[in-house]
Amino acid sequence: MIALQFGLSLVFFVLFIGYFLTSDARKRMRLSLALTASLVALCLSSLFVRGEDGQWKIKIKPGLDLKGGTQFLLELAGDPGRSALDQAVEVIRKRVDSVGVAEPVIQPVGEKRIIVQIPGVSEADKSSYRRQLEKVAKLEFAMVHPESERLTDVPKDKIPQIPIDYQILKLRDRDRTGKITETPLVVKRRAEMSGKNVASAFRSVDQLGRPVVIIEFNAEGRDKFGKLTEQNIGRRMAVVLDGEVYSAPVIRTAIYGSCEISGGNMSITEAEELSSVLKNPLENPVSIVDERGVDPSLGASSVKSGFTAGWISLVAVALFVLLYYRWLGGVAVLGLMINILILLGLLAQFGFTLTLPGLAGLILTIGIGVDANVLVFERIREELNRHRSGLETVSAGFQHAFSSILDANVTTVIAAAILFWKGSGPVQGFATVLCLGIFSSLFAALIVSRTGAEWLAEKGGKGSLHMFRLFEEAKFNFLGWRRAAYALSILVLAAGLAAVAMRGTNALGVDFTGGDLVTLSFKEKIDDGRVRSSLGNLAEVAQYQRSPVGQDEILSLRTAFGKGEVAVQRLQQDFASAGFTQIQLDKVAPVVGEELKKNALIALVLGVIGIFLYVAWRFEPAFAIGAIVALIHDVFISLGVFVLLGRELSLPMVGAILAVAGYSINDTIVIFDRIRETFRGGLHGNKAESMNLAINQTLSRTLMTSATTFLAVLVLFLFGGRVINDFALILLIGIVVGTYSSIFIASPIALLAGGRRK
């Protein structure tokens, strides 16, 4: 398979060079067919792989939010060096591997953090992994004071008087009913022996069949432990793990072999966990500062919803394009199909993980993919009366549209690249798909669609290129309405800012403020007033949420950091008949929330600066000012309306906002490109008249692009499932606002910044 893919890649590279070196249209068409065929074959070979059972399977790796599982972000205490971080990564890897998890991802992040992704873990099993990851496994053997019971037998209002070289630790025990009791023990501060000499640990059973953990020492450890027990026969010795006494047996005889931990009536799972951490102790304490989990059942539901939305979106956009562009619409649909295949093939070839926002990016690519075709087809319509043959018309259409296509997509790439750099997890997945989608869309539009249009023109002549006409002779005075547009924008901005001010930090999700966000399914709906009364101050927000389409309703709880599962237990206890089941939990420490908020702001600022610099380089400064003002206008209005609708801003929303920024500048640049062309044409009149002419000439393209992209995202909003509903909503707002600002804000601001000279 590798040899086949290498051969196909080599063939594609040679044909690609030959395609751009060929000036003859018919020869280029033949090369394009071979080029597309080689790329399709390469993508199919990358996308599908034969499994051990002989069945062909899709090679794309689904993210945790699609297949279910848990992601932990661990932080080492203090200021550890690189060696301590590497040791922690290796220890955690051994602990996770000992459970038999398939394909866990464990890797360092920065100087003191480790990311751990464990697929296929249900919400019910997460606590077991959490305990294993957080345990340092500092094992000590310390002697118990001979008069421990007398020293601790004091009234509750008095402090026990113990020797200075001793301390009081708790011996936790559990009876057969599951009730836990804690007994104070006076234990020596300085342990007689540490766990550094532990060679192995494993689960076993005692004479009564109860689970125990057997500790085996190396040669040095056996000698130390033997002498220690020999010198203290008749005394109690405490087995202390991470400051907690697991057992404190009386030494009956010298032990030069293994040691048994049998206290607390351990379950089989607890004994397995204990043996795992004892075999792999950590040098530095760790804490979980970020935790995100999706139950496999919810992940499967998200996959189903996402792919349903994808198919409906593809069919809806295809029908829309076919009705409007007729035969050329068929060419666009073919290019769109190949575009999606190329994108999936690239994801599989380079081993990228497809996340839920990435799936949203895939659907957004359907809208973006049509955009380049719309630009070209609208140009072809303008060229129909200027050329003799259909081939000349198609060539001129692609030639004149290339500049707009290039500028529009470069700005989106800038936004996607910055999003990938400063984003994390699912946001990076969205940026990856968006970036790859731009390149696959360019190939599909400039090569596949061009070949299809040229073949159509050659076989059917200019008559096959005719399409539905919308706003062909439009002569609207858009710049004359700029004051009304300014007033409308200021009004919407003020409403959005007022909503943000009123809601304050409640407008920010746990990604930015820290805390727990819990999603619960239920069998019987309990009145939300009773839910809030039951939780009291435990939950900051408790509300039911429903998908726009269907009856998929859940209960969402927002609590302080570390209190989410406590709130779930309270509800399950108070409303046992309701059948509340935790299906998703996101835990973000406040310090991580601050970092995510900071990175989100940096990403937005850098995105705006990058786009401004590119537009200033490609156009004159006045255009760059107009474009950036429109972009900032779109970002703030989209955020304001989103908050005004009662939604919360989370980390994936940063990706959606930058996608809005890219889309906004995309639309604006197409209009600016036509304005620049109008200026260069030497038309007489003032700038305002020339700008109005350019806006009217591109009006059909602007509305068609917005309509196709809006349609694709609307399907995602309606059928993509509850999880990506917010993501799709902010994209919908951004598309509407971006289209409006391209016409009514960007050009008037550019006119104002550049003056009214002829």
Assess if residue 65 is contained within a domain.
no
Would you say residue 551 has pLDDT above 70?
A: no
Evaluate whether residue 382 is within a structural domain: yes
Q: Helical H runs in 619-698?
A: 621-644, 651-680, 687-697
The predicted-structure confidence for 269-311, as pLDDT tens digits, reads as follows 777 777 877 777 776 778 888 888 777 766 677 777 777 887 8
pLDDT range class, residue 249, cuts 50, 70, 90: confident
Q: Are 245 and 207 found together in one domain? A: yes
- In DSSP notation, 110-124 reads TTTEEEEEEET--GG
pLDDT at 756 over 60: no
Q: Is residue 28 part of a domain?
A: yes
Confidence label for 621 from pLDDT (cuts 50, 70 and 90): confident
Instruction: Give tens-digit pLDDT for 169-218.
Output: 988 776 666 677 788 899 999 888 887 788 888 888 877 777 888 888 88
**What does the alpha-carbon distance between residue 280 and residue 504 come to, in Å, rounded to a whole number?**
45
- Residue 637 forms part of a structural domain: yes
Pick the more confident residue, 518 or 137.
518
**Least trusted range by pLDDT, from 150-159, 279-288, 482-491, 728-737:** 279-288
Helix axes 327-349, 356-383, angle to 10 degrees: 150
Handedness of CA 632, 638, 643, 648 (dihedral sign): negative
Looking at the structure, tell me whether residues 523 and 412 fall in a common domain: no
Q: What is the pLDDT of residues 687-739, one digit of tens each?
A: 788 888 888 888 888 888 888 888 888 888 888 777 678 888 888 998 899 89
Residue that terminates a domain, selected from 572, 588, 604? 588
Does 474 map to a domain?
A: no
Residues 317 and 269 in one domain: no
- Shared domain for 272 and 252, answered yes or no, is yes
30 phi, psi to nearest 5 deg:
-65, -40
Does 150 lie in the same domain as 256? yes
The predicted-structure confidence for 388-441, as pLDDT tens digits, reads as follows 787 888 888 888 888 778 877 787 788 778 877 876 666 777 788 888 888 888
Q: pLDDT, tens digit, for every residue of 67-98?
A: 777 888 888 887 777 777 888 888 788 777 76
| Predicted pLDDT of residue 263 | 62
Q: Rounded mean pLDDT of the chain? A: 81
In the predicted model, what is the mean pLDDT of residues 659-686? 74
Type of residue found at 552 = D
pLDDT band at 60 (very low <50, low <70, confident <90, very high): confident
Q: Are the CB atoms for 80 and 284 separated by under 8 Å?
A: yes
Give the C-alpha distances (Å, rounded to integers) separating 718 from 150, 260, 316, 754.
Answer: 69, 59, 13, 43
44: which 2 tokens?
């199919």
Whether 535 is in a domain gets the answer yes
The residue written with tokens 């994390």 in the block is 424
Share of the chain above pLDDT 90, in %: 5
Do residues 169 and 108 make contact, with C-beta atoms less than 8 angstroms apart?
A: no
Residue 510 inside a domain? The answer is no
Q: What is the CATH number of the domain that holds 161?
A: 3.30.1360.200
- Does residue 488 have a pLDDT over 70? yes
Asked if 219 and 250 sit in the same domain, the reply is yes
Res 758 pLDDT > 50: no
Closest CA to 378 of 413, 349, 405: 405
Q: Are residue 485 and residue 605 in the same domain, yes or no?
A: yes
In the listed set 292, 317, 335, which residue is the last one of a domain according to the structure?
292
Q: What is the pLDDT of residue 654?
A: 76
Q: Reading across the β-sheet that carries 198-205, which strands appear in turn?
A: 198-205, 211-217, 259-261
**Residues of the domain holding 41:** 2-59
Final residue before a domain boundary, out of 551, 566, 588: 588
Examine the domain organization and report whether 536 and 492 are in the same domain.
Answer: no
pLDDT score, position 123:
66
In a domain, 432, yes or no: yes
Cβ atoms within 10 Å, residue 5: 15
Pairing of strands 105-109, 61-62: unpaired
Range from 110-124, 286-300, 573-587 that averages highest in pLDDT: 573-587
Contacts with 146 (C-beta within 8 Å, 6 or more apart), sequence order: 235
Q: Are residues 326 and 361 in the same domain?
A: yes
Burial class of 102 by CB neighbour count within 10 A (0 to 12, 13 to 18, 19+)? exposed
* 552/696 same-domain check: no
**Closest Cα partner for 600 from 639, 651, 643?**
651
Give me the torsion for CA of 209, 210, 212, 214, rounded to 10°: -10
What span, in angstroms and rounded, lies between the C-alpha atoms of 400 and 381? 12
Residues 280 and 326 in one domain: no
For CA atoms 532, 534, 540, 542, give the dihedral sign. negative
What is the pLDDT confidence band of residue 484, given thresholds at 50, 70 and 90?
very high
What's the CATH number where 574 sits? 3.30.70
Please state the domain count of the chain: 4
- Based on the fold, state whether residues 318 and 461 are members of the same structural domain: yes
